[in-house]
Amino acid sequence: MQDNSRKYIRAMLILFCAMFLILCIYLVYIVGIYGNRWFTSPYNTRVQAQKDNVQAGRIADRNGELLAYTDEDGQRKYAATSARRRAVCHIVGDSYGQTIGAESMFAKYLLGFDQDILDLLAETFSSEARVGSSVMLTIDAELCDYAYDLMDDYWGAIVIMNYKTGEILCSVSQPTFDPSYMADYISGERELAASAMVNRVTMGKYTPGSTFKTVTLIAALRYLPGVTERTFSCDGPLVFDLETGKYLPDVTVDDSDFVNATGDLNYDRQQEGVEDTETEPDVVQKYSIIRDSNSSYHGSLTLFEAYAHSCNTTFARLAMEIGPEKMAKTARDLGIGDEFLFEDILLYSSSYEKPDTDRNLAWSGVGQYRDIMTPMQMCMLTAAVANDGVVMEPRLLYKVVTKNNYVRYTPSSKAYDTILSAQEAQIVQEAMLGTIEYGTGTRASVSGYTVGGKTGTAEISSDKSVNTHAWFTGFIQEEEHPLAICVILEQAGGGGSVAAPMAGKLLERAIDLGY
């Protein structure tokens, strides 16, 4: 009996030791994964206490343009002009921790947490105030200024990145705020536009519209052998039973009443927010229909022509042929739904919800239903296409410099994932080049350079009472100018007519600046 008791106690001791070891390993893992997010939280009392003892370092763009600094009185100051402060506010952040920008993401450098023992000893015996390191960001402030000016009164987001390195060169979100007046915003003395402190580039969850056809195209390449050699017929709307959502291939309807029912309306915001909800296809009598824009059909066309002309009926048919399981798997394989834990930015997840009817499946294939994408992830997907299938981790930190102008840290580029084979990437590149050459994105062309892209016109209200979001995402196919871009303008109309020309101007300006 005594031997059995000893064996039982020994077994329990081994079990508890194993559980303790697993807990320790888990704690190390969880701190490694989430530690930076916890550290940068505005509720981190250690960071708040450090602000009382250390003068925060400077924040500058990649060219040394000053974006934030601490003056002689210990007050945090920002760029000299209001326009620049507003252009980069979501990237720089604020000293009150109300937004997630460089002020919080890089607090460990700015507040001197990265200093080694020799630095600490030197400052201990110095009469000068402790000063944190300066941070240089990958953005070009001049390019951000230009993007901010182009957006004018539009709400939305613009992001440009180097698809070879992942460096974020431009990131602008509208509406904006002025970090110089954060205390007044908090007290209520100054008003803010709705969701102005939300960085729409990384946190905006939008219906992607036809930009999502890139996902459907990739799924077709993977699951429909010979799809690039096929010819498709686009001669009228697809018809579905209104109640069951079942596809009715033998039923035809006249959708002429829908011509000009949507399109570019005057810019007049009718709802606010940064997260879209589900829409329904058009309704004719007892049927739901999926039609092409303004009921303009294309006749017989190839897969590349269908993509270039953004043919809804072709991509809706493709989605139904691929099936919900494979569409959902393709979305997952492309990183849609990933929980991103990047070092430099906080990026919200996009999503693809597996459809339950023919109608919803077809609707999702054209970027509607419950498809949701952030502008940053759309840019990352486009960047992967341009970079032969490799997604680079988005980078915002360019270098860390001490108060003595010693470069303490220069981060290196990291590959996040390979989401396409080189062959798949080349096929999608060809499709995107066609969109600019002869399709819906011709207004995004840049003279003297090879541009690929995809437009999107995303419906966000089933009754068409709210104007569509205008999307464009694209890239420059040049070794010397590896640029990827995403533009979304909320309720601005057509992607080809509004977002594409803006993207073309931005790419041209980026090239002129040497990127």
- The mean per-residue pLDDT over the stretch 83-91 comes to 97
- pLDDT for residue 265 is more than 50: no
- pLDDT for residue 229 is more than 70: yes
- pLDDT for residue 385 is more than 70: yes
Q: CB under 8 Å, gap of 24 or more: what pairs does 370-373 form?
A: 370/278, 371/207, 371/208, 371/212, 372/205, 372/206, 372/207, 372/208, 372/275, 372/276, 373/205, 373/206, 373/208, 373/211, 373/212, 373/336
Query: Can you tell me the distance from the alpha carbon of 394 to that of 166, in angstroms, rounded to the nearest whole number?
Result: 5
Max mean pLDDT among 52-61, 277-286, 293-302, 478-487 falls in 478-487
| Residue 68 CB neighbours (<10 A) | 26
- The mean per-residue pLDDT over the stretch 153-178 comes to 97
- C-alpha distance from residue 363 to each of 67, 232, 474 (Å): 44, 18, 23
Query: Can you tell me the distance from the alpha carbon of 90 to that of 174, in angstroms, rounded to the nearest whole number?
Result: 9
- pLDDT for residue 261 is more than 70: no
Query: Can you tell me the distance from the alpha carbon of 200 to that of 202, in angstroms, rounded to the nearest whole number?
Result: 5
Q: What percent of the chain has pLDDT over 70?
A: 85
Q: Please, which pLDDT band fits residue 2 given cuts at 50, 70 and 90?
A: low
**Over the chain, what is the mean pLDDT?**
88
- The mean per-residue pLDDT over the stretch 31-58 comes to 62
- The mean per-residue pLDDT over the stretch 408-414 comes to 94
Range name among 144-148, 166-170, 253-257, 415-419 with the lowest pLDDT average: 253-257
The more confidently predicted of residues 61 and 47 is 61
Query: Can you tell me the distance from the alpha carbon of 500 to that of 486, in angstroms, rounded to the nearest whole number?
Result: 10
Cβ atoms 382, 474 nearer than 8 A: yes
- pLDDT for residue 357 is more than 70: yes
Number of residues assigned to the chain: 515
Q: Please, which pLDDT band fits residue 279 given cuts at 50, 70 and 90?
A: confident
φ, ψ of residue 237 in degrees (nearest 5): -70, 155
- The mean per-residue pLDDT over the stretch 128-134 comes to 80
Q: Please, which pLDDT band fits residue 3 given cuts at 50, 70 and 90?
A: low
- The mean per-residue pLDDT over the stretch 28-44 comes to 52
- pLDDT for residue 46 is more than 60: no
- pLDDT for residue 156 is more than 70: yes
CA neighbor of 369 nearest in space, from 460, 453, 455, 299: 460
Looking at residue 264, its pLDDT comes to 46
- Catalogue all structural domains in the chain, each as residue range(s) with its CATH number: 209-395+416-512 (3.40.710.10)
Max mean pLDDT among 25-29, 107-111, 130-134, 169-173 falls in 169-173
Classify the C-alpha dihedral 354-359-365-369 as positive or negative: negative
Looking at residue 45, its pLDDT comes to 56
Read off the amino acid at residue 309.
H
Looking at residue 73, its pLDDT comes to 85
- pLDDT for residue 354 is more than 60: yes
Q: Tens digits of per-residue pLDDT, 460-479?
A: 887 777 899 999 999 999 99
Q: Tens digits of per-residue pLDDT, 282-325?
A: 887 788 899 888 778 888 999 999 999 999 999 999 999 999 99
The more confidently predicted of residues 55 and 257 is 55
- pLDDT for residue 344 is more than 90: yes
Q: Please, which pLDDT band fits residue 255 given cuts at 50, 70 and 90?
A: confident
Helix (H, G, I), strand (E, B) or coil at 309: coil
The more confidently predicted of residues 56 and 91 is 91
Query: Can you tell me the distance from the alpha carbon of 207 to that of 378, in angstroms, rounded to the nearest whole number?
Result: 11
Q: Please, which pLDDT band fits residue 436 given cuts at 50, 70 and 90?
A: very high
- The mean per-residue pLDDT over the stretch 221-227 comes to 97
**Which regions of 225-341 does DSSP assign to beta strands (E)?**
231-234, 238-241, 282-284, 287-290, 299-302
Q: Please, which pLDDT band fits residue 106 given cuts at 50, 70 and 90?
A: very high
Query: Can you tell me the distance from the alpha carbon of 236 to that of 248, in angstroms, rounded to the nearest whole number?
Result: 13
- pLDDT for residue 66 is more than 90: yes
Looking at residue 19, its pLDDT comes to 72
Looking at residue 204, its pLDDT comes to 96
Q: Tens digits of per-residue pLDDT, 190-210?
A: 999 889 999 999 999 999 999
Query: Can you tell me the distance from the alpha carbon of 499 to that of 209, in angstroms, rounded to the nearest whole number?
Result: 13
Looking at residue 121, its pLDDT comes to 54
Looking at residue 263, its pLDDT comes to 45
The more confidently predicted of residues 114 and 331 is 331
Residue 17, classified by CB atoms within 10 Å of its CB into exposed (0-12), middle (13-18) or buried (19+), is exposed
